[in-house]
Amino acid sequence: MTSEAITAAAAGTWKLGDLTVNRIGFGAMRLTQNGGAFGDGTPSDRGRAIAVLRRAVELGVNHIDTAAFYFSPLRSANELINRALAPYPDDLVIVTKVWPGRDPSGKWWWATPEQLRGQVEENLRQLGRDHLDVVNLRIPPSRAAGSIAEHFGALAGLREAGLVRHLGLSNATPAHLVEARSIAPVVCVQNPYGIGLRPDGLVRPRTCAEQGIAFVPFFAIAGIGQEAGTSGADSEEVVAVARTHRATAAQVRLAWTLQQGPNMLAIPGTGNPGHLADNVAAGALRLSPQELARLESAHRSGA
């Protein structure tokens, strides 16, 4: 399929609380380095990263996912977003996440409930904003079976104080979602999900759809490659559907994601202008019921 003249509007819209976004967005994690993640690749070209962000907005992207811990030794995703897009378009929604942190050496740490305000203020400072549109509480693996009430309650307090507009969850189980919603509204759940990727025990898209909550899958393109990026190997089903549409496997994966429900939001990330245009164009790709069934088979088989 051709990517020319296709904008993010082709994917349709959804609301994060009172904020309307196009369902194809942009993930900033890969802006700071080439290959790998979180500082283990080579530094990205700053000018090119800024150009990709500006082009994304030109193509109608108005939902950007980021975090203060998205940085490499030479680049910060938040700083790049600020430099590229401030003063921000009125309709641009920037979503960030807290609880994990990284010190300057790259070592990970996890915030206490009392430290979440500092993480929120760090994002505000880096992005040059007086409030954050959406903040996701990124739940650590160690809390998979535990309570998140203290941390989510701290974020709810920051929402009441006006520092945060809306709240979401990341890496959340159904129990986490129930607990969080008893404290404050949840507008989105950001969990790993894609063709062949269905993590056990985490919230699935259908649960969110039933409650009118956006589901924002990460690794929708990378699948089992996860932070390392795509492996270059795609299932026979994905390749066959891509060939039919003269599309890439990544476009098919994104189109499949969006067709899992109207509440699905995609946030593919890239530092490549060509890949950006292809990702946005995937929002216009419509798969037939037969193609969806074929891809569902690949999904269930872990392809």
**Ranges of each domain in the chain:** 19-301
Residue 1: per-residue pLDDT? 66
Q: How confident is the model at residue 35 (pLDDT cuts 50, 70, 90)?
A: confident
Backbone phi and psi for residue 223, each to the nearest 5 degrees, phi listed first = 60, -130
- Residues 289, 293, 299, 303: is their CA dihedral positive or negative? negative
Whole-model pTM: value is 0.94
Given a cut of 50, whether residue 143 has pLDDT beyond it is yes
Q: How confident is the model at residue 228 (pLDDT cuts 50, 70, 90)?
A: very low
Indicate the CATH number for domain 19-301.
3.20.20.100
Given a cut of 60, whether residue 145 has pLDDT beyond it is yes
Residue 230: per-residue pLDDT? 43
Q: How far is CA 118 from the centre of its chain?
A: 22
Q: How does 17-54 read in b/e, with b if 16+ C-beta sit within 10 Å?
A: bebebbbbbbbbbbbbbeeebbbebeebebeebbebbe
Given a cut of 90, whether residue 71 has pLDDT beyond it is yes
Which are the catalytic amino acids?
Answer: 70
Given a cut of 80, whether residue 226 has pLDDT beyond it is no
The mean pLDDT of 73-99, rounded to a whole number, is 97
Residue 234: per-residue pLDDT? 83
Instruction: Map residue 209 onto helix, strand or coil.
Output: helix
The mean pLDDT of 241-267, rounded to a whole number, is 97
Q: Which residues pair with 135 in a beta bridge?
A: 96, 167
- Residues 111, 114, 118, 119: is their CA dihedral positive or negative? positive
Q: How confident is the model at residue 37 (pLDDT cuts 50, 70, 90)?
A: low
